[in-house]
Structure formats: C-alpha cells, structure tokens
Structure 1
Amino acid sequence: MAFWSHFLTGSAWSTSKSKPDSRDLTKFFGSQIGGKSVINYAYTDMPGKLLAFDVYYFFTFAWAIPYILLPLTPADSGELDELSLTLQNVFCIFIHVILCALQLAFILALPLSVLLPVWTVVLGAACFFLVNQALCSLLNGRKSEYHSDPEYAPRLPEHDHEQWIFINGVAVGEHWMKNNLNRLAVTFRRPVLGIHNRTNGIIFDVVECLVQRSFGFATSDVRICYSIIKEKLYDPRYSKIIFILHSQGGIEGSMVLDWLLQELPQDLLSKIEVYTFGNAANHFNNPHRLVGSQEEAFRRPVLGSLDATRVDFMTSPTAESAAEQDNRPPTPTTPREPVEGDDNSTAGPIRSSLNKLSLLSETSSVRPTLLSDRAIGHIEHYAHTTDFVALWGVLHFATSKPRSHLLPRFIGRVFARTSARGGHQLCHHYLDGMFPLARDPATGAFLGAADGEGENAFMESEVTVGVEGDEMDNAREALEFSYATMGIGGVNLNEAPLRRLEREVEIHSVDDRPPESRGRYRHRRTGRTGALTANVKVKDLSRLWQYRNGLSPGDKAPFLASDATGLTRIATL
C-alpha cells in the first residue's frame, strides 16, 4: 500500500527541485548495442507479422499501462502540466473518459453486429462516429500548426538560424498541445513550432499507432510535417532543425525521416537533430554514408564512429597493418607533436590522412576535427523504464540484439531512467523529471531549466552502461561512441586520445564502486595501470541538455567540424 501511495502522491517530489531518489537509475545505450534480449523481426517485415508482434507485446507490457498517468502528483510546472487541476485540464480529461467509454463499448459490441440487420449496423456505426468526431472536435481545434507563446520564449537573433519543430503524442488536443510547446519553449528559450497530431480518443489513437507501425500509414500530420521540414532544410537561413517527438509523434517522426532520407541530399540532412521522449516507434533510420565505414563500425566501434580515418585509413594497407601490429587504432587527431608511447611507424600515413581532413575545414571558423559518418546530424531518445509506450517502442526495439546484422537498427542514444516519476506525459513526467524548471522566488514565474547545484537529479545521476551483466560484452561501444562524439571525460587531443578513451570507457563500464572507494585500476586487456576516474553523468552525454536556457552545444568542441559545404556536423550514435 505504501508503494502505491508513494506513486500517487509523489511524496518524494513535493518541491520544484528534482530531489534524488534511491530508485533513481539511468541506463545508457548506444545505437542498438545489443544485449540479452534477441529480436528477430523489423519494420520491413510483412504487415501481418508486425501487427501480430505488436499485439503480443502490447499485452506483454500491459502491466505498465497505469504508468501512462502515474504518478498523478506533483505538477511542478503548474498549469503547463497535463494532470494539474486546472479547469481546462479537467475538461479535457472528462471528454477523454467519455470517449474511452464509448469506444470501448463500440469495440465490444462489434461481434454482435453479425446478428443484426445490415442497415441497423450501418446506421449505428454512423451515429457512433458522428458523436465520436463531435467530441474530438471539442479537444482538437481547427489548426494543424501551432506556435509557442512569445511570453515563454521570444525569438532571439542568436537563434535565428535554428528551427525547433515538435510532434505530439497520443490523446493531445489543442490545449495540451499549446502547453507542450510552451513547456519546451521556456526550457530551451526558443520558440517552437508544433505539428498537431490530432486525437481521436485514446483507444482509437492506439489503434492508429498499430496501423502506422505495421502498415506504414502516413496520416495528414505526417505529410504536413514532412513538407515543412523539407522546406526548412532547403532554406539557407537555417543551419539546424531541432526535431522533438513524444509518444506517437516518434512513429510519425520516424516516417518523416524515412521520406527525407529517400530524397534529400545528405548535406541538408546533416542539419537535423532529433530528440524523443517515450518514443513509440519501431524503427529509427540513420544510415552510414559509406559502406566501408559501416564495416569498420562493426569491427572497431571507436574507429568506425570517426571519419578522420574513414577513407584514407581504410584504404591504406600501411596504416592498417601498422595499427594491427600495434594492437590499437591510430590516433584520429589533427596533426600534433608526438607523445610518449606513439608508434612512429604509423605517423606518416595517419598524419597524411589528417592533413587532408584539416584542409576540408581550414577556411571555417570551426576547429578542424572529425566528421560524422551518418546522414542525420544527431539522435537521442529519453525513456522511463516504467512507461508503457516506451517499453512497447524504443526500449523494446533499441535495446534488443538483432538476430541478424541485416535487420534494420534503431539508431540513437537511449537514456533509460528508472525513477518515481516514470510516467508517460511529456510535461508532467518527462520534462518535470528530466528538465525541471526554476522559479523566481518572488513572483513564482518560470525562469527556465533548473541547472543549479542539486536541482536536477536526472542530469546529475551517473549512468550505467547497457544491460546489467552485458556491459563488457556488448555495451562498451555506447560510451566509446559518446566520448568520441562529445569530446568529454578527460579525453585530451594532445594525449593519445583513443588509447585514453579506451581506458576511461573501460573504467566507467565496470567500476561501480563509490568514488571514495576507488584507487587504481588494471586494464583487463593490456595490463596497463592508472588512477581511476569519476563515473560519467547524464549531463556529460546529453546533447539536448546543452540547449537549456538558450545555450547551445559548443560546436567548436573536439570531434566537431565543418564539412566541405560549411555545415557543422556531429557524429551520430
């Protein structure tokens, strides 16, 4: 009883600050790194097979359905939260309760239709759909596009080159859509454009999810969003398209990306960054640009994620044999002074390769470093391990090991959080728990994302890599990719970075002792010893966190560069 009382009352979260909880744990996954769970089907299979698996896993994860709404409190974002006790929220919930009752009765009555005259069935169905549509119109409004209110985030000149776009999830009408946009706007201090995924009632929305995932059916909002993003990508005023998706919006967003990948030049696709919450999709595509890089990624996760040696290194027998002889990948940095431990036999070909890379971006203000090897700029997924939709979507498809390497992958980093706030609502659960807001103590007005000391338990939490028990076998590439991409965790370009990278990832993967208990380590493969370092925190790996309060990622940081067209790229996980 105490357990349910905690989840219903949110007693551990009674203030606006995100307090730590003993159950608070964040697991980090790279792009489909694999694990104990094995999956043998993909979105490219026959629709009937996909539908059967979707229905099966719907009931498998049905225990988590209550967490779509739980916990009910607190509502830290006030009237912006979906479940806060405001008049408009109560009205929306009331309409949804009526819709659920009507739709459930309609579905249960369908078997009886075989006993009735055809004209009676047709008339009854027509009346039901008319009533259903009338009730939904009370929630949806008439527009397909919405904008956040300027009071939450006015457009600033420094963000004129960015376009933030959002697709909502299940059961969201006009009121909740506006609240979602305003909550995102105040968190990141950017205006946000919303493409409205209109609700047809919760039950019918779930049916629509099944149809979209299994049959690839694109609704009108998918088509509208595709045309808008395509237009923005071709507009030279924009260098970044930040695409945020929630719940069913993840399904629709994955379809939009599929269409864009089919048609657009890859220098335009590199403008896109995707961030999802409670993603319900069954796939997320982001292919390598070269088959050689893809093969190298399977063989050497660190080197395969970097483009510095992508062409020159893989086609250079001298460099390849030298690296094999040295039992380590060559250092993918810009030309530098030799450091202790370097193998001089690799210096010539590697440095030659890097000189070519340097020429690509020497006319750019961005530091010449490494280029991404995937088409879309960056992808991150945020999920709660008790969120039914996330379990049915991203956590099922992204963390399972494909039975065959030929199956399509679910691309993107995954931050899987287990905590007392593990519900599904975007504002009430995800943003309040992962991006809590700070308030003015005098007026109570929202100031933006709370990023002070001890104000965000999620971002301050240390990550556990991959699936428990599989860290060393399957999960090391997750942090290797992230370290290489973000240039963090003490990776120094002047200190043989890949070798140090390997050392630190190894530590973060296996050493879960408290920092004060750590001393020195012995590398399991090379036998090298050294001082143990602190574990990696979520904020170290989250690129979305770098956008809080109007900030931007340091695009001059290590492992970021401009390609030949002048576009800034980041390696995608």
Structure 2
Amino acid sequence: MAGTTRFYGSQIGGRSAVNYGYTDMPWKLMAWDLYYFFHFIWALPYILCPMTPADSEELSELSPTPANVWCIAVHFVLIAMQLMGVLALPLLALLPVWTAAAIVGIFLLVNKALSMVLNRRGVEYHSDPKYAPALQEHAHEQWIYINGVATGSHWMQGNLNRLAVTFKRPILGIHNKTSGIIFDVIECLIQRNWGYATKDVRVCYQIIKEKMYDPQYSKVIFILHSQGGIEGGLIIDWLLQELPQDLLSKLEVYTFGNAANHFNNPHRHNRSLTLANRNRVAASIDSIGLAAINSPAAVPRLRKPIPQKNQPNRCASSDSLSSTSSSSDFEPLAQPPLFTTNTITTSPLTTTTTAAAFQTLTATTSPHPSHLSGRAIGHIEHYAHTTDFVALWGVLHFATSPPATPAIPRFIGRVFARATPRGGHQMVQHYLDGMFPLRKDPETGKLMKKQGVPWGVDEEEVNEFMESEVVVGGGGDGTGRDWVCEGGEKWDEVEVHGVSPAVERKVGGGMGEMRIKVKELSRLWQYRNGRSPENQELFLGRSPVLIGRS
C-alpha cells in the first residue's frame, strides 16, 4: 500500500494575537502538552513500529544487528526503571527528607551510568568519509544535523552515514544525548515550554553562527529530527535575534517528525507581509518572493480588479483583499494597504514606485531562496507521518491549523504529511527509507554497494512518496490559505522544480485545484545523490518558475 500525502502551505505569520503559543505561561503550555500527550497516546507504539522492513540494512535503527539489539535492550531497561521511578515518586513523601534524597540520588546515578553505555563523550560527530567524501563542488555548503529522542552514539552515527549516502555530502552531527525515552520526553517538555537550552543547543548555535559568518559558505543546510526540531527552533530564535538578514538567507531548514511547538521565520520587510496577505496561496507555498515581486509579471498583484458591469467583484480572499489572474481586468491601486503596528493604513505609492521600492530594499541577485519567499531564512520544509506520535504532538498539531485563527502559534514552513503503513518515527528506518529509498539489486533485494557503501538514492524505480500527487489550492485541506472565487474560479501559484512553465498541470475538482507531484515541490529532493536545486539560476535575475491557472 503506497499511502497518501497531503501538502500544507506555510503559514503566513504576522501580528495575530496568540493565546496558546510558545510565548504563553510555561505552566499553561505544560498543561496543554500533557493533555495532547494523552490525546495522541494511541500513536505511541509508532515510535518503534513498524519494525520491518529495515531497507537501509545496518544503517536502519531496528535492523537486527548486534549493536542495534544491544541499544534496544538498554533502552527497555531504562524504560522499565524510569517508569517505576516515576510511579514511586508519591511514596517518597512518606519517607524522611534525607532518605528520599538519597534514593533519588542513587536512582539518577544508575540512570546516568546506563545512559553512558549508549552515549560517547563529546557532542560533535561526523559522517564516515567513505559514505560521502568531501568534494570541491560542495565546498561552499555546510550540512548540520541534530538527532531526536532515544538516539545514542551508534544510532547517531548511522543517521549521519545514511544522510551522507542520500545527499553525497559530509554531514556534521551535533549529538542530542539520550537519557532514556521517558526522561527524553520530559526534557522535550522543559525545552519547548521553558525555552531551556541544553549543552548541545549552545554548541550547535555557536557552530552555525560561525559558519554563517564564514564567507566560504553560501549555504548552511540544517536537518532536524524529532526533539532536534525543538532544539533547532531555539537556535533559529537566537539566530533571528543576532544575525544580519543577508547572512540568515544562507540558511535552509528541513525537519522530520518535528516535536517543536513553533517555528519562526519572519518576513524581511513589512511590504512583503502585506503582499503575502494579498495573495495567501502564493505566500503559503513560498512563491511570492522579492524576485517575483520585482518582475513585470508581478505588477498586477499590486492592483485591484475592476468589477464587471452589473456584476459584483467575484474574487475575494479571507481577509477581503482581492486577487485575479487576468491583467486586462485591472485598474491601478494607487494606495495599497500596508500594515502598521495597530491599524491598517494606506501609503501613497503607485504600483511602479512600490516595485521600485522593493528593488531598493533588497538585492535580487543573491543566490538564496529567501529572496523568493520574502522571508529571513531561505527555505523551511517539514516532513511528517500522520501516525508518528511525535509529529502529531508537534508539527502536525501546530502547523496545520488555519492561520486565520488567532488562538494558535506560528509554525512557518511548508509541510508534507504522509499517511502510510510505514509511518513510524525513526529517522532512517521510517523517514529516510520511505522517502529516499536506496538503490537495491532487483534480483537479491539487497542494497547495491561499492566497497561496502550503498550507491545512493534509487532514481530508477518508482518512488512512491516523491511520485505521489498532492493538491494545491481548492480549499481541500481546510486551512483557509487559498483564494476562492464565486463560480468556481481560482488562481494559484506554486514554485516548482525541474518543470517547464509550459507544462500543463492536472486540474481536478470544481475549485481550480492543482495536482502536483511531491518531488516538484520538495526542495530537499533536489539535493539527492550530490545534486543541487535546479533553479540556482533563478536568483541571478530570472523570476521563479510559477505554475498558475485562471
């Protein structure tokens, strides 16, 4: 069974009031987290299930190798011990204080000793060079990975080597050490509700900051899994506070089973936020960028439609701002609304001067995708399984709610939510094996290897995830992120990869929805087997590829 994939465009962000977000009181956030922990507890077994197949063989976490069996055995001991310890806490109140303190101290020492069996010393790890040697063509890139819960040194190294094989780049790993699954979940609660930064967060922040300032690097690719999404979110918050925005545009972020409760990526200018609210579809799928805004084709977006004789204005967005795709039905909008702190005001800018102002505000020749999205950070993508407990508790809970609702936090980035029987939580066995399958021998079913190293991502067999189609627009996901017109008309735009603008998209339903393959939306897919996104030249003076329908 192949399963299905759903695409959620990025939330726009802005100045909406938030009464249940990461900036709220920590105890309130903790109470909500505990509620949703039990609400989604049905998916808890999917942290480990399904346990087969282990397509990456020794690199898969649950492959029956001696090292993996040892790690799982130690984890089960930790789970049993920690569960008994938590249940015994009320009984400690019956004992003298010093006796209770001694028992807790001994318990923590034993837990620490067992955790050290899983964790090596040090925080920095590197993928084995035999899986992906450093190449000059990628010398301007730095790839960094933070792991998730219950990941010791052995699984961390396996994650790094699998990423290296997948993308043919050396990967620097920052180890989020495990203390056992139950204690790791408690640490997640503390990190995402109190903003507590552990040692690995602080080390990773310093490394990323140094790489961003280093002129050698034009890209920093940040990959996060599970609890690593919480830690990466904290790091991004710090980077947004301290780094110049031209440096932030180097950063690209890709998460799997993200456990965070927010993900920030503000607009670079207030005007880009205004345009995002004018065309919510384009903004939600990262196509309403500054390069597109400066192009002649973008000028109609700064205008309003002329109502036809004896007909009302047929197209309106959820915030009463109008849009259409036919330039012949436009008249200039001399005073486009601009957001201020408290009210919506107007500016005496014409469409020509507005476009010129954008050219003055930013350079569109920078080779970074932030100039396409109009945001500080270049690009953010989230991949999640709909049966993954951690994803349900994190990204799928916080990122897929309607952005017009004022009672949710902002979780920026496009989301690929996959419903599949293989939808567990492990980074390699469930996510990478299912989304970036490695090449196998058609006769034996074993990985094809050269000197013991897998060849890389299989591009010959059908990739069920990347070849699957998702619906963009049409209101099918209930997010309210599209523009619906009376009479069933709508106009969508989406930045795609490796597709000619002349290619006719499949259109289904009565609301003008488009069906687009995941691989045409996924920027991360463009990095497979040592490749780079095919739209690099787009940032050198050409507008992004936009597929639209009217």
- Name the residue aligned to 1:158: 137
How far apart, in 1, do the equivalents of 2:523 and 2:426 lie? 22
1:245 shift after superposition: 0.2
Q: Residue by residue, what CA displacement relative to the aligned partner does 1:262-287 show, whole Å, maximum 9, x if unpaired?
A: 11000000000000000000000000
- Name the residue aligned to 2:393: 392
- Name the residue aligned to 1:12: none
- Name the residue aligned to 2:105: 126
Q: Residue by residue, what CA displacement relative to the aligned partner does 1:446-465 show, whole Å, maximum 9, x if unpaired?
A: 110111142x1110111144
- Name the residue aligned to 1:376: 377
Q: 1:76 and 2:55 equivalent? A: yes
Contact 2:291 2:364 in 1 (8 A): no
- Name the residue aligned to 2:289: 306
- Name the residue aligned to 1:434: 435
Q: 1:471 to 1:105 in 2, by over 3 A?
A: closer
1:407 shift after superposition: 5.2
Q: Which amino acid aligns with 2:221?
A: I
Q: Secondary structure at the match of 1:448?
A: coil
Q: 1:135 to 1:219 in 2, by over 3 A?
A: same
Contact 2:112 2:179 in 1 (8 A): yes
Matches within 5 A, 1:20-59: 21=1, 24-32=3-11, 41-59=20-38
Contact 1:384 1:416 in 2 (8 A): yes
Greater relative contact order structure (CA < 8 Å, 6+ sep)? 1
- Name the residue aligned to 1:6: none
Q: Which amino acid aligns with 2:524?
A: L
- Name the residue aligned to 1:555: 535
Q: Which runs of 5+ in 1 are unaligned?
A: 1-20, 330-338, 512-521, 525-531
Contact 1:278 1:389 in 2 (8 A): yes
1:53 shift after superposition: 0.3
Q: Which amino acid aligns with 1:539?
A: K
1:408 shift after superposition: 3.9
Q: Residue by residue, what CA displacement relative to the aligned partner does 1:134-190 show, whole Å, maximum 9, x if unpaired?
A: 110111110100000011000000000000000000011111100000000000000
Contact 1:369 1:561 in 2 (8 A): no
Q: 1:198 and 2:177 equivalent? A: yes
1:312 shift after superposition: 11
- Name the residue aligned to 1:421: 422
Q: Mean alpha-carbon deviation: is it higher for 141-150 or for 547-556?
A: 547-556
How far apart, in 2, do the equivalents of 1:561 and 1:103 lie? 56
Q: 1:561 to 1:251 in 2, by over 3 A?
A: farther
1:117 shift after superposition: 1.5
TM-score (normalised: structure 2): 0.80
Q: 1:541 and 2:518 equivalent? A: no
- Name the residue aligned to 1:5: none
- Name the residue aligned to 2:339: none
- Name the residue aligned to 2:221: 242
Q: Secondary structure at the match of 2:156?
A: helix
Instruction: Among all aligned residue pairs of Structure 1 and Structure 2, give the percentage whose two residues are the same amino acid.
Output: 57
Q: 1:117 to 1:347 in 2, by over 3 A?
A: closer
How far apart, in 1, do the equivalents of 2:468 and 2:27 lie? 42
Q: Secondary structure at the match of 1:401?
A: coil
1:325 shift after superposition: 6.6
Q: Residue by residue, what CA displacement relative to the aligned partner does 1:537-558 show, whole Å, maximum 9, x if unpaired?
A: 1101000000000000023354
Find 2:158's aligned residue among 167, 179, 183.
Answer: 179
1:213 shift after superposition: 1.1
Q: 1:26 to 1:404 in 2, by over 3 A?
A: closer
1:371 shift after superposition: 3.8
How far apart, in 2, do the equivalents of 1:254 and 1:40 lie? 20
Q: Mean alpha-carbon deviation: is it higher for 544-553 or for 97-106?
A: 97-106
Q: Residue by residue, what CA displacement relative to the aligned partner does 1:378-399 show, whole Å, maximum 9, x if unpaired?
A: 0000000000000000000000
Q: 1:457 and 2:436 equivalent? A: no
Q: 1:120 to 1:297 in 2, by over 3 A?
A: same
Question: What RMSD in Å do the two structures reach over aligned CA positions?
Answer: 3.9
1:323 shift after superposition: 5.4
How far apart, in 2, do the equivalents of 1:452 and 1:484 lie? 26
How far apart, in 2, do the equivalents of 1:368 and 1:262 lie? 20
- Name the residue aligned to 1:273: 252
How far apart, in 2, do the equivalents of 1:345 and 1:485 lie? 27
Q: Which amino acid aligns with 1:226?
A: Y
The structure where helix makes up a greater share of residues is 1
1:297 shift after superposition: 1.4
Q: 1:120 to 1:442 in 2, by over 3 A?
A: closer
Q: Which amino acid aligns with 1:380?
A: E
Q: 1:344 to 1:402 in 2, by over 3 A?
A: closer
Q: Which amino acid aligns with 2:101?
A: V
Contact 1:186 1:446 in 2 (8 A): yes
Q: 1:363 to 1:233 in 2, by over 3 A?
A: closer
1:439 shift after superposition: 3.8
- Name the residue aligned to 1:447: 455
How far apart, in 2, do the equivalents of 1:299 and 1:340 lie? 16
Q: Secondary structure at the match of 2:236?
A: helix
Q: Which amino acid aligns with 1:461?
A: S
Q: Secondary structure at the match of 1:225?
A: helix
Q: 1:133 to 1:125 in 2, by over 3 A?
A: same
Contact 2:500 2:545 in 1 (8 A): no
Q: Residue by residue, what CA displacement relative to the aligned partner does 1:333-385 show, whole Å, maximum 9, x if unpaired?
A: xxxxxx99757977997678768878999996979996431000000000000
1:257 shift after superposition: 0.1
How far apart, in 2, do the equivalents of 1:140 and 1:48 lie? 31
Q: Mean alpha-carbon deviation: is it higher for 458-467 or for 224-233?
A: 458-467
1:33 shift after superposition: 7.5
How far apart, in 2, do the equivalents of 1:487 and 1:481 lie? 19
Q: Secondary structure at the match of 1:536?
A: strand
Q: 1:135 to 1:561 in 2, by over 3 A?
A: same
TM-score (normalised: structure 1): 0.77
How far apart, in 2, do the equivalents of 1:464 and 1:342 lie? 28
Q: 1:411 and 2:412 equivalent? A: yes
How far apart, in 2, do the equivalents of 1:238 and 1:367 lie? 12
Q: 1:189 and 2:168 equivalent? A: yes
Q: Which amino acid aligns with 1:425?
A: Q
Matches within 5 A, 1:278-297: 278-297=257-276
Q: 1:570 to 1:103 in 2, by over 3 A?
A: farther
Contact 1:26 1:462 in 2 (8 A): yes
- Name the residue aligned to 1:486: 496
Q: Secondary structure at the match of 1:199?
A: coil
1:41 shift after superposition: 1.0
How far apart, in 1, do the equivalents of 2:122 and 2:500 lie? 49
1:298 shift after superposition: 1.8
Q: Secondary structure at the match of 1:53?
A: helix
1:25 shift after superposition: 0.1
How far apart, in 2, do the equivalents of 1:173 and 1:293 lie? 43
- Name the residue aligned to 1:16: none
How far apart, in 2, do the equivalents of 1:236 and 1:200 lie? 38
- Name the residue aligned to 1:401: 402
Q: 1:298 to 1:91 in 2, by over 3 A?
A: same
Contact 1:372 1:570 in 2 (8 A): no
Q: Residue by residue, what CA displacement relative to the aligned partner does 1:78-125 show, whole Å, maximum 9, x if unpaired?
A: 110100011111111111111111111111110001111222111111
Contact 1:163 1:238 in 2 (8 A): yes
Q: Secondary structure at the match of 1:438?
A: coil
Q: Which amino acid aligns with 2:521?
A: L
Contact 2:303 2:331 in 1 (8 A): no
Q: Which runs of 5+ in 2 are unaligned?
A: 316-324, 335-349, 442-447, 485-489
Q: Secondary structure at the match of 2:254?
A: strand
